[in-house]
Structure 1
Amino acid sequence: MSLADSDRELVVDELGREPTQAEAALFENLWSEHCAYRSSRPLLSAFDSEGEQVVIGPGDDAAVVALPGSEDGGAEEGSTYITMGIESHNHPSYVDPFDGAATGVGGIVRDTLSMGAYPIALADSLYFGGFDREHSKYLFEGVVEGISHYGNCIGVPTVAGSVDFHPDYEGNPLVNVACVGLTNEERLVTAEAQEPGNKLVLVGNGTGRDGLGGASFASEDLAEDAETEDRPAVQVGDPYAEKLLIEANEQLIDEGLIESARDLGAAGLGGASSELVAKGGLGAHIELERVHQREPNMNALEILLAESQERMCYEVEPENVDRVREIAERFDLGCSVIGDVTAENYTCTFEGETVVDVDAYFLGEGAPMNDLPSEEPAEPETDLPEVDLESAVEAVVSSPNTASKRWVYRQYDHEVGVRTSVGPGDDAAIIAIREAEQGLAISSGAAPNWTTAAPYEGARAVALENATNIAAKGATPLAAVDCLNGGNPEKPDVYGGFEGIVDGLADMCSSLSAPVVGGNVSLYNDSVAGPIPPTPTLAMVGTKAGYDAPPLSVTPDEGSALVLVGDLALGSEDGAPDGEARLGGSEYLAQFDGSDAFPALPDDPAAVVETLAAVADDEATLAVHDVSHGGLAVALAEMVTDEAGLEVSIPTAASAADPVAAALFHEQPGRALIQTTDPDAVRAAFDGVAPVLELGAATADGRLELAVGDREIELTAADIAAHRETIERELE
């Protein structure tokens, strides 16, 4: 580890002397891109993070949002709160997929504990290289195993997420994990130190040498030998200790013993303790030899910066320290009183020698921001492939990007906690918040094909897609957190794409009145294989009355109709096929090496989402499914079961360059298929909001009978299932 020359000069000017070895390492980690957001923070002001429902926004370990229910819909005493957080563990998951992914889960769960909340749901969004590559499959299998092992052991259900394969993730996969927690006004804790004289208490596993320099490691491009050379920077998780920590934290909060809290993640004890006191405008004195350790002969630097897992730093009033120690012992957790909150500098001593003596605020906030050049990405040209209908449908429906992810989520315990009303495999999950008599819908993901084709518009589409998923379950958006992943920001074209996804996500979330209340930035996702696509993972939640939702699959109801809400062919005002659908960013073009402009988005996306949520909850609605990845071809196929089929006729646009492909495969988000017994009511609801086109009806024979213009194709439920089992077939 080494501190950059320009940063060292700033530190020397501030301290009036050369930094000690421990100070230099601490500055290097806390001033890294991973911790200080030096290249991204100037862009993040684009996000609207305020709202009457927002209790705590960006800047703490997790955001806190009040569920609707009070008279003004905002945060009042007695309100039920949820916490929301998201983090990335990208580089560690490349080096060690199992431990890298597992400790990503552990870290975001502890962020939830820091706020006085109990974790109730996880969502993971995963991105890998081409599914035809053996290394990609190795990483994929290891990451899923790590997430399932850790999440299942700690008893927190993984209920939502996404999986995408794209060749540009080959040298640098992404593992983004979100967590939702439950708390209330009385239990709420923050990461802001409260009072000089209070004690700093470390609770959890012993400190070892794993994870040293993890923050700086996450702020560099992956080298060709990263899998061997960077393995010491990857933390090793212990989910059983984490489960004990979850329950101990709950007891500590119940008894009101905690004044503030911060979990030990990036930069270990040094990062957590300095950030805790800096937020309160205070300092600390820490005696590092007091830290309970699991390895002998650790030096000051190792104790300060090791990122050993399952550890929490608490601010505790002196009279409560003994009770905290008793609770830690009850749960078989280590406990060390390591120092005091002060009104002075942040100081650390080791065996009587001062190794750190700095201003905590300067340490946490003094890193200079980067002013980087950027280039806007070029518009893609139109180059459409010539493919017969049967081959195109089979290729798109069986793509690992659109195929069933059952192989993934069946490894997760999504029922533990007995709150899951709608689990993974649907448009969005629903968690029962019985304390508020509400359902909480959760959707998470991005779309690398979209943001590769058009970073700004693709990111807008990602936000709308997540909101549409939520609306399809009858819920309306409440808030969101994001994980913004990009390549090396020092490359102007990469930084230009990153700027695009920030602005696109911010603009659409603002349009949807869904404040972005927190998030994470992960840059330098670059390797010898090149930069990743700009990837704006969004985890969005929405609320609804009750916990039930319409199914995704159709039912064999003879008196119903299947209608499409949204444009069949873009450019028309009434949904009639007289416009031209653009195929940019579609799985169809990805399968056949084509290119095109990205499709336009609805003019009033908020009205589309709000109306769809209301229609989804209408008693005449039998099934709802959003139309996005893979277009109508995939959405229709996913609605068919052994007991219920569809007979559908899709008109085509004569003006489209490829009328059949345009109708069947374009991926404009904000659209949905609705099976209803009252199509006229659906038309009336969407009048002036979005076009509604009747496509056909459900049948009882388990077949998809599809006519597109003058072309016809028929698939049985068994045919569709065989196409959609791509991942299972390959990995089992």
Structure 2
Amino acid sequence: MTTTAPHPADTVEQALATPEHPQPYRELGLKDDEYQRIREILGRRPTEAELAMYSVMWSEHCSYKSSKVHLRYFGETTTDEMRARMLAGIGENAGVVDIGDGWAVTFKAESHNHPSYVEPYQGAATGVGGIVRDILAMGARPLAVLDSLRFGPADAPDTRRVLPGVVAGVGGYGNCLGLPNVGGEVVFDPTYAGNPLVNALCVGAMRVEDLHLAHASGVGNKIILFGARTGLDGIGGVSVLASDTFAGEEGGTGRKKLPSVQVGDPFTEKVLIECCLELFGQGLVVGIQDLGGAGLACATSELASAGDGGMRVWLDRVPLRATGMTPAEILSSESQERMCAVVRPADVAAFLAVCAKWDVTATEIGEVTEGDRLVITWHDQVVVDVPPRTVAHEGPVYHRPISRPADQDALLANGPETLPRPSTPDELRDTLLRLVASPNLASRRWVTQQYDRYVRGGTVLAQPADTGMIRIDEETGRGVALATDANGRYCRLDPYTGAQLALAEAYRNVAVSGATPVAVTDCLNFGSPEDPGVMWQFEQAVRGLADGCRELGIPVTGGNVSFYNQTGDTAILPTPVVGVLGVIDDVRRRIPMGIGAEAGETLLLLGETRDEFGGSEWAHVVHNHLGGQPPRVDLAREKLLAEVLVAGSRDGMVSAAHDLSEGGLAQALVESALVGETGARIVLDPDADPFVQLFAESAGRVLVAVPRTEEPRFTDMCTARGLPWRKIGVVDPASRALEIQGVATFGLDELREAWEGTLPALFD
């Protein structure tokens, strides 16, 4: 606890006595009508501490004020059958699903985009730390992380500043926590220059009965803050510390105003994880909330709002690591590695003993009270007296103007059909090598080798596999698979279809591992909500994703919205990142991505190939072109494809599988051969255009390797279920080459040099 003299506070009594005292609400991000509404709620002007709480909790990041009216559509389209496996959904710290045998899995994705541009290492690191605590707050042990990253042009100077720091931050924090990083994406596009996207996903597991929720129930129960001390980091920018007038003079204390980006300590978080799990195991927690965005302002108001009473907090008891902090600063600080728990009085001593065992600072800072007020005192003076729901859950709701962008029709009409296409074998060969080495298709090994993918020993599949897979139960082999996907170019052409294509690809990636897709999380990254064209993109993407989930029969369990991702008038490509969770009853029957070393295995292409190049990598890399229609999406076909793959896995009919997406069949063949370190002979359809066969990006397709003995059984199953298939080649380990008859023969060493050389050349 701090022993410094109390900082003079703006109390509720003073607020009543000075109703016209000027307040810098605009500097804190509040609009005139929002400030007036706060005054109406309170019946007076807010105190400095109250204004700090409302300003951060009513921000776009915390209140979803521009997206709420659209996000409701997820609930409207979720059927009872989809809800049946959900134990917790939208509105909780993370979604939770029942995966059988008494196990529950929780997972969620969140963004840390703007902080990662300002300070790449700490922005990315604390993004990982925050999403891990969301999973921990549900009562689960965090098991693995994934990261979905997007940057400006790969050869741009600022990308060389941002990308290495972000990757180091993701890896440094996750590695220190001992959590494997098993999947994700790295994408480059000019629209992300100045607005990198750093989306982190975490997955954890627990027994069903160990689920915990964020609510403060039981009058007399105690509020305990535990973990790291509270400091000045994470409260710059539009927070209360942005205004010297609001914060007052520093009084010669010599305090340094730290950047708005939080500073993480993964070793403190690792200890906090183990401490929390022991507290859960001993039944010492009634409710729990992590401290992330908006810090104590969020934790106290959300716990009280979700409970059955009020709450009283003694703010001067909060352990500090900076002198002279004001109540507003303490409430708004986003210092990392902190949790807030609701504990029965009889359990406080045992709770504190567990924290002492783990050397975790823990302090009783409040209690649950009767009534419906959140009252916060500072050295016996009331600085906050608010209805907690008005802070946490009843913020502004905007019906932003929506308008289809004026250039949308011209964009769709400017298709790639007239672009020059390669036709000769030499041109096709050069195109394949150029695409394989392009930044968006090249190997991510330079990134993933900085992550520990196998720590804890539960990793079954990891990058460069399509899917990350983790063993949950060592006795039965039950596990989960996760994949994240998005294609901003597709979404720019058609955000409804683009969101469904992202869903379809993540769903397919889970299925090619042999797992059954069961649930979705999302991270919706868009430009300014004040732009009617951006809001049209957002509305269309939400509806596309929700309608797609309903058709596939899997629910959206939670997620994140990130707006204002733009530089000047240039918004990022609309980027709804979709994460799909799958369940597999025994990880030993997983399907690997790389083709194996058994000579003569049959290579089959499942699905249909069409002349679809709108938004494709070929159009982007070769012609710097964006226009036309994205690939069509058939979710009924995706569902059938997943059923066939899961059945093939369960019955031992498939030895390898790789989905087709960006780069088409050519990219899938190269990656399957290089990952498996095995050659193959490919025969294209002589009656179809080889360029279309190799590079089209039609959805709903998978390349599979099938043992010769299983080929009749597998193809009969596909035919019986109405799934198109075509035999396109055989595995040939002895050749050490990928031979595409009529086009070219590529040595594996030649392909590896092209595929793996790009990112090291740019960033080493």
Fold match (TM-score > 0.5): yes
2:629 matches 1:588: no
Determine if contact 2:227/2:360 at 8 Å carries over to the other structure.
Answer: yes
Q: Distance in 2 between matches of 1:28 and 1:335?
A: 28
Cα separation, 2, equivalents of 1:98 and 1:629: 29
Tell me which residue corresponds to 1:10: 37
Corresponding residue number in structure 2 for 1:221: none
Give CA deviations for 1:554-607 in whole Å, capped at 9, x if unaligned. 2343442111001123xxxxxxxxxxx211121111112233321212361212
- 2:655 paired with 1:632: no
Between the aligned partners of 2:546 and 2:577, the Cα distance in structure 1 is 12
| 1:65-87 residue CA offsets vs partner (Å, 9 max, x unmatched) | 11134xxxxxxxxx211111211
Letter aligned with residue 713 of structure 1: A
Report the equivalent of 1:115: 138
Equivalent in 665, 689, 692 of residue 725 of structure 2 = 692
* Residue among 505, 517, 525 paired with 1:477: 517
For the Cα contact (< 8 Å) 1:420–1:432, is it kept in 2? yes
Structure 2 counterparts to residues 637-652 of structure 1, below 5 A: 637-641=670-674, 643-651=677-685
Q: Does the alignment pair 1:92 with 2:115? A: yes
Identity %: 38
Q: How big is the shift at 1:652?
A: 6.6
Q: What amino acid is aligned across from residue 462 of structure 1 in structure 2?
A: A
- Structure with bigger helix share is 2
Q: Is the 8 A contact 2:218 2:308 kept in 1?
A: no
**What residue number does 1:543 align with?**
583
User: Equivalents in 2 of 1:398, 1:529: separation in Å?
Assistant: 32
Give unmatched runs, 5+ long, in structure 1.
70-78, 218-228, 570-580
Kindly provide the CA deviation profile for residues 180-206 of structure 1, in whole angstroms up to 9, marking residues without a partner as x. 111123322110111121111000011
1:29 aligns with 2:63: no
1:407 aligns with 2:446: yes
The partner residue of 1:562 within 599, 603, 616 is 603
| Secondary structure at the counterpart of residue 546 of structure 2 | helix
CA distance in 1, matches of 2:574, 2:448: 25
TM-score norm. by structure 1 comes to 0.92
- Map 1:478-557 onto structure 2 (within 5 A): 478-528=518-568, 530-548=570-588, 549-557=590-598
The superposition leaves residues 260-295 of structure 1 with CA deviations (integer Å, 9 ceiling, x where unpaired) of: 000001111111111011011422111111000011
Contact 1:445 1:539 (8 Å CA) reproduced: yes
- SS of the residue corresponding to residue 682 of structure 1 reads helix
Contact 1:563 1:679 in 2 (8 A): no
Q: Give the secondary structure class of the aligned counterpart of 1:634.
A: helix
Runs (4 or more) in structure 1 with deviation over 6 Å come to 214-217
Q: Does the alignment pair 1:293 with 2:320?
A: yes
> 2:709 aligned with 1:717, yes or no?
no
Q: How does 1:721-732 map to 2 (within 5 A)?
A: 721-725=752-756, 726-732=758-764
Which residue does 2:17 correspond to in 1?
none
Letter in 2 for 1:112: I
2:461 matches 1:422? yes
Partners of 2:624 and 2:257 lie apart in 1 by 35
How is 1:193-592 mapped onto 2 (pairs within 5 angstroms)?
193-212=216-235, 232-344=259-371, 345-376=373-404, 377-378=408-409, 379-383=412-416, 384-386=418-420, 387=422, 388-434=427-473, 437-528=477-568, 530-548=570-588, 549-569=590-610, 581-591=611-621, 592=623
How far apart, CA to CA, are the structure 2 residues paired with 1:643 and 1:256? 50
Q: Kindly tell me: are residues 198 and 338 of structure 1, through their superposed partners in 2, closer, same or farther at Cα, counting changes over 3 Å?
A: same
Instruction: Report the CA distance shift for 1:652/1:302 in structure 2 as closer, same or farther (over 3 A).
Output: farther
Q: Distance in 2 between matches of 1:258 and 1:689?
A: 52
2:52 pairs with 1:52 = no
Instruction: Kindly state the Cα deviation for residue 311 of structure 1 after the two structures are TM-superposed.
Output: 0.3
> How many angstroms apart in 2 are the aligned matches of 1:30 and 1:673?
48
Which structure 2 residues correspond to residues 16-165 of structure 1 after superposition, within 5 A?
16-47=43-74, 48-49=77-78, 50-69=82-101, 79-165=102-188
- More off after superposition, 393-402 vs 201-210: 393-402
CA contact (8 A) 2:467 2:481 kept: yes
Q: Which amino acid aligns with 1:67?
A: I
Amino acid corresponding to residue 125 of structure 2 in structure 1: A
Residues 485, 503 of structure 2: 8 Å contact kept: no
Q: Are the counterparts in 2 of residues 22 and 301 from structure 1 also a CA contact under 8 Å?
A: yes
Return the alpha-carbon distance in structure 1 between the equivalents of residues 534 and 166 of structure 2: 26
CA deviations on 1:100-151 (whole Å, 9 max, x unpaired) are 0000111111111111111011111111111011211221110110011100
Is the contact made by 1:193 and 1:279 (CA closer than 8 Å) also made in structure 2?
yes
Shift of 1:231: 6.8
* Mapped partners of 1:602, 1:608: distance in 2: 11
Aligned pairs, how many? 694
Distance 1:153 1:22 in 2: 35
Unpaired runs of 5+ in structure 2? Answer: 1-26, 241-255
Provide closer, same or farther for how the CA distance between residues 529 and 139 of structure 1 changes in structure 2, counting only shifts above 3 A. farther
Q: State the alpha-carbon separation in 2 of the partners of residues 433 and 360 from structure 1.
A: 38
Task: Quote how far apart the aligned CAs of 1:482 are.
Answer: 0.6
Q: Distance in 1 between matches of 2:237 and 2:221?
A: 29
CA contact (8 A) 1:125 1:162 kept: yes
Moved more, 552-561 or 282-291: 552-561
d(CA) in 1 for partners of 2:446 and 2:268?
28
The Cα offsets for residues 46-95 of structure 1, whole Å up to 9 and x where unpaired, read as 224542110111111111111134xxxxxxxxx21111121110010000
